[in-house]
C-alpha cells in the first residue's frame, strides 16, 4: 500500500511539473494579494462531493486585532443545495503570519501550529512539509500561470497538498488548490482515502471583492 501511495504522489507531482503555461520566475508580491480579506468580500462556489452538489457562499464578516499585532479574518460559509437552504452556517478564520497564510476552525484552534495553505516565496517547486503524531504531508507550488476569471486576467498559483496517515496508517489524501491574485481560491479538487474513497470539488462561480 505504501508503494502504491508513493507512485500516485510521484505521478501527480510529475504532471504538475509539465504545465505548458507555467513560469519559473518567482512572484515577488506579498501572498496577501492572493487572499483579499476585506469585510464584505464574498465568493460563491459550486461544491461537489460523494453525497451530492451544494452551493457555498463564503463571506468575510469580522476582523479581530490580536495582542501580538496580528489579525484574524473571520468568515462564514452559508450552505445550500441548488433548490433549498441548509440550516446552520460554518465559521472559520484566516490569518497571515511571517509570509504564511493559515486557516483555523475556531478561535481556540489558533493556539495550535498548523500547516500554511500558502507561503512565500511564490515560485514553482517551492515546498513545505509538516509532521504530527499520526500523520505527515507536504504542500508544493506546482505551477504559476496567467488565467482569466470574469474578464480579469491575472496570476494563478497551483498548490498540491499530499498527506498520509491519520485515523489509519494507510489513510492518505491529495488536494490541488488554485489561487488567483486579487480574487482568492478559484478551484479545489480533493481525493481522500480513509474508510473508502471520497472526492470533493470547489469551483468559483462568482465573487464580489472590495
Question: Whole-angstrom Cα distance, residue 47 to residue 53?
Answer: 6
Question: Whole-angstrom Cα distance, residue 167 to residue 49?
Answer: 21
Fold annotation for 2-208? YmcC-like fold (2.40.360)
Candidates 128, 96, 130; CA nearest to 110 is: 96
Each of the 210 residues of the chain gets a pLDDT tens digit; together they read: 444 434 344 444 333 533 434 444 544 557 889 999 999 999 999 988 766 678 899 999 999 998 878 889 999 988 776 555 455 577 888 988 888 888 887 777 666 656 788 988 999 999 998 776 667 889 999 999 999 998 999 999 999 999 887 667 778 899 999 999 999 999 999 998 888 888 899 999 999 998
**Domain boundaries defined on the chain:** 2-208
Write b or e for each residue in 127-161: b if 16 or more Cβ atoms lie within 10 A of its Cβ, otherwise e. eeeeeeeebebbbbbbbbeebeeeeeeebbbbbbb
Phi (first) and psi of residue 12, to 5 degrees = -65, -45
Q: What does the pLDDT read at residue 114?
A: 67
Q: What does the pLDDT read at residue 54?
A: 83
- Scanning the structure block, which residue is given the C-alpha cell 491529495? 174
Residue partners of 177: CB distance under 8 A and separation at least 6: 117, 158, 159, 160, 161, 185, 187, 188
C-alpha cell at 45: 462556489
C-alpha cell at 190: 480533493
Question: Whole-angstrom Cα distance, residue 75 to residue 113?
Answer: 20
What does each C-alpha distance from 167 to 8, 54, 75, 104, 134 come to in angstroms? Answer: 20, 27, 28, 20, 8
Q: What does the pLDDT read at residue 80?
A: 73
Question: Whole-angstrom Cα distance, residue 101 to residue 103?
Answer: 7
The answer to whether the beta carbons of residues 48 and 200 sit under 8 Å apart is yes
Amino acid at each position: 500500500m505504501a508503494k502504491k501511495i508513493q507512485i500516485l504522489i510521484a505521478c501527480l507531482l510529475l504532471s504538475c511539473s509539465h504545465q505548458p503555461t507555467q513560469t519559473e520566475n518567482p512572484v515577488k508580491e506579498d501572498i496577501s494579494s492572493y487572499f483579499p480579506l476585506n469585510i464584505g468580500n464574498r465568493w460563491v462556489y459550486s461544491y461537489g462531493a460523494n453525497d451530492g452538489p451544494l452551493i457555498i457562499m463564503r463571506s468575510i464578516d469580522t476582523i479581530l486585532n490580536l495582542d501580538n499585532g496580528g489579525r484574524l479574518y473571520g468568515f462564514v460559509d452559508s450552505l445550500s443545495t441548488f433548490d433549498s437552504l441548509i440550516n446552520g452556517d460554518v465559521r472559520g478564520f484566516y490569518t497571515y503570519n511571517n509570509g504564511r497564510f493559515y486557516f483555523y476552525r475556531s478561535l481556540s484552534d489558533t493556539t495550535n501550529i498548523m500547516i500554511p495553505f500558502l507561503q512565500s516565496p511564490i515560485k514553482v517547486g517551492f515546498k513545505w512539509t509538516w509532521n504530527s503524531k499520526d500523520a505527515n504531508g507536504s504542500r508544493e507550488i506546482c505551477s504559476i500561470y496567467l488565467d482569466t476569471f470574469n474578464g480579469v486576467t491575472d496570476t494563478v498559483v497551483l498548490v498540491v497538498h499530499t498527506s498520509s496517515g491519520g485515523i489509519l496508517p494507510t489513510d492518505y489524501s491529495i488536494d490541488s488548490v488554485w489561487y488567483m491574485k486579487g480574487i482568492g481560491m478559484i478551484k479545489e479538487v480533493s481525493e481522500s482515502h480513509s474508510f473508502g474513497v471520497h472526492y470533493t470539488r470547489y469551483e468559483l462561480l462568482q465573487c464580489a471583492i472590495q
